């Protein structure tokens, strides 16, 4: 299996990652998660949250997909 590594640390730093962890912890603490498989999957699509942290994570994922495929493709309904 081929894979590529993309370093997004300059865009998504340790503080951003901690804020995202806190967001997910708060969602779970509020009970807004599924109890079946996968366990603790949030009912909230965090990629849809309107904060710079989540937007940067979403866009880095999309760009990584394009870079891996060496072309732009239509991507529909990204969920996390």
Q: 4 in a domain, yes or no?
A: no
Q: 58 in a domain, yes or no?
A: yes
pTM of the model: 0.81
Task: Give the pLDDT means over successive 10-residue stretches in the chain (80 positions).
Answer: 84 96 95 83 90 95 92 86
Nearest-angstrom CA–CA distance, 26 and 72:
35
Q: 74 in a domain, yes or no?
A: no
The tokens describing 68, both together, are 């891996």
Overall number of domains in the chain? 1
Domain that holds residue 42: 14-69
pLDDT of residue 6: 87
Helix (H, G, I), strand (E, B) or coil at 42: strand
The tokens describing 12, both together, are 């998504």
Helix (H, G, I), strand (E, B) or coil at 27: helix
Q: 78 in a domain, yes or no?
A: no
The tokens describing 61, both together, are 């994922």
Q: 6 in a domain, yes or no?
A: no
């Amino acid at each position: 299996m081929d894979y590529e590594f993309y370093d997004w640390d300059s865009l998504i730093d340790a503080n951003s990652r901690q804020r995202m962890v806190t967001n997910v912890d708060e969602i779970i603490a509020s009970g807004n998660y599924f109890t079946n498989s996968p366990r603790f999957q949030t009912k909230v699509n965090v990629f849809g949250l309107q904060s710079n942290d989540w937007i940067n994570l979403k866009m880095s994922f999309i760009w990584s997909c394009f870079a891996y495929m060496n072309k732009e493709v239509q991507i529909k309904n990204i969920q996390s």
